[in-house]
Amino acid sequence: MAVHYIPSAMEPMFPEPVGLEDLAVEVIRKSAALEGRLHAIPRRSVVELLRTINGYYSNLIEGHATHPVDIERAMRNDYSADPAKRALQLEGRAHVEVDRLIDGCLRSEPGLNVCDAAFLKWIHAEFYRRMPEEFSVVDARAANRALRLAGGELRDQDVVAARHVAPAHDAIPEFLERFSEVYEPGRLTETRKVLAFAASHHRLLWIHPFLDGNGRVARLFSSAYARRARIDGHGLWTVSRALARRRDEYMAALAGADSERSNDYDGRGNLSLRALGEFCRFFLETCLDQIEFMAGMLEPDGLAGRITGYVELRGHGIVPDRDHLRPEAGRLLVEALHHGEVERGAAARVTGLGTRTARSLVSKLIAEELLYSETPKGPLRLGLPMDAVSYYFPRLYSDEVGLAPA
């Protein structure tokens, strides 16, 4: 395979829309419907939870199994004494923090071109600024030595990723310019944005702009693209979970889309139109599966039932490492779920308990982060501590790697 020097080498940039447009419409429709599943206040808590879950799955794709509880601890600067485990915690925390930064960028600049080379380099720089030293050293074969990765810098040598010969390093700026020009969301129709969401994920990895970290950047970029295109369900589904659950198929689909055009019926570009279409179908179907999964998880009555069920399990002493919890706690938690918040003075009324007993219960729920408040006397809101999440949202993270609820 030849080294590519001109941007036309990554054509076609879009799949054939026939057969994919209906799928794109489903992604748009079902992701938009997610917002109405929850009150705005608990919805923000779920979005923050999913940042951690997204970081967990992004790490898992890299072969790094960092339990979400450990990422949650890292966000509080609570690190393991084991250096290897601490490094994984830092990696997970880096993903969460950069994801938050991306959100901030899109809030302050809604029309941001997330495909611009400067934005992609910024993601890489912010991510590697937070990475542990041992994850920032790469084997640079062309230099015949290990190199300390410089965050935000495009690679300065040619590389072969698996069987894919990436574009020549000195041509990367031209490839990224073409990438930005074609996929910028602001220039596309709604369904075209969804096709670009899928196709751009592969083409960014095909360009392989950085010496290392391309997969992590691509997943953060795709999350940003989904938000910019308004198909992220307001943060209520995650790209990385979608891909990690089908990791082997994902890797095979990426490799397939690297294929060159096979014959005159396979498009007119250098790369295979058919293979790009197959990748885009896989990518969008996988994302749609996650949208539907989260729609089920966020169905209000079902979620309320699982929260109440968790409290009942606590009442029977079944939850490991957790003591008894009064059944009235379920009423407070469900009230916060449905109404967003509960005034502290209403706790006795909601639970049916005496004032002193209700106050004691509220204190316990706050201590365990099952409820939280912005101020010491402020209203109570639903918390989502990771050790309760596996009961509230079964299979959100534990089933793929055989982890029991923490």
Alpha-carbon distance of 130 to 36, in angstroms, equals 35
Over residues 238-249, mean pLDDT = 93
Using one digit for the tens of pLDDT, what is the confidence trace for 288-310?
999 999 999 999 999 999 999 99
Over residues 221-231, mean pLDDT = 96
- pLDDT of residue 404 exceeding 60, the answer is no
How distant is the alpha carbon of residue 22 from its chain centre? Answer: 24
Alpha-carbon distance of 282 to 254, in angstroms, equals 10
Compute the CA torsion angle 33, 38, 42, 46 (nearest 10 deg).
-40
| Token pair of 76 as six digits | 């509080």
The label of the residue with tokens 């084997």 reads 139
Using one digit for the tens of pLDDT, what is the confidence trace for 128-163?
999 988 777 765 554 445 566 778 999 999 988 878
- Name beta bridge partners: 15: none
- pLDDT of residue 264 exceeding 50, the answer is yes
Note the pLDDT of residue 186: 94
Note the pLDDT of residue 38: 93
Note the pLDDT of residue 160: 87
List, by residue range, all CATH 1.10.3290.10 domains of the chain. 7-297
Note the pLDDT of residue 45: 95
Note the pLDDT of residue 405: 32
Q: Measuring CA to CA, which residue among 149, 139, 47, 133 is closest to residue 90?
A: 133
Alpha-carbon distance of 224 to 162, in angstroms, equals 26
Note the pLDDT of residue 265: 80
Over residues 32-36, mean pLDDT = 91
Alpha-carbon distance of 338 to 301, in angstroms, equals 9
Using one digit for the tens of pLDDT, what is the confidence trace for 89-122?
999 999 999 999 999 999 999 999 999 999 999 9
In which band, very low, low, confident or very high, does the pLDDT at 403 lie, cut at 50, 70 and 90? Answer: very low
Contact 231, 321 (CB under 8 A): no
- pLDDT of residue 387 exceeding 70, the answer is yes
In which band, very low, low, confident or very high, does the pLDDT at 369 lie, cut at 50, 70 and 90? Answer: very high
In which band, very low, low, confident or very high, does the pLDDT at 406 lie, cut at 50, 70 and 90? Answer: very low
* Angle 79-80-81 from CA coordinates, rounded to 5°: 120
The mean predicted confidence, pLDDT, of the chain is 92
Note the pLDDT of residue 150: 79
Residue 316 CB burial class (10 angstroms; 0-12, 13-18, ≥19): exposed
159: left (phi over 0), alpha (psi -120 to 50) or beta: beta
Using one digit for the tens of pLDDT, what is the confidence trace for 56-93?
999 999 999 889 999 999 999 999 999 999 999 999 99
List, by residue range, all CATH 1.10.10.10 domains of the chain. 300-392
Q: With respect to CATH, is domain 300-392 assigned 1.10.10.10? A: yes
Q: Measuring CA to CA, which residue among 178, 145, 215, 147 is closest to residue 9?
A: 178
Note the pLDDT of residue 190: 96
Of all residues in the chain, what percent are helix, strand and coil, respectively (each to 5)? 60, 5, 35
- pLDDT of residue 241 exceeding 90, the answer is yes
> Comparing 136-145, 199-208, 332-341, which segment has the lowest mean pLDDT?
136-145
* Angle 315-330-324 from CA coordinates, rounded to 5°: 25
Over residues 212-227, mean pLDDT = 96
Note the pLDDT of residue 259: 92
Over residues 18-30, mean pLDDT = 96
Global pTM?
Answer: 0.91
Note the pLDDT of residue 143: 45
Q: What is the topology classification, in CATH, of domain 7-297?
A: Fic-like fold (1.10.3290)
Q: What percent of the chain has pLDDT over 90?
A: 83
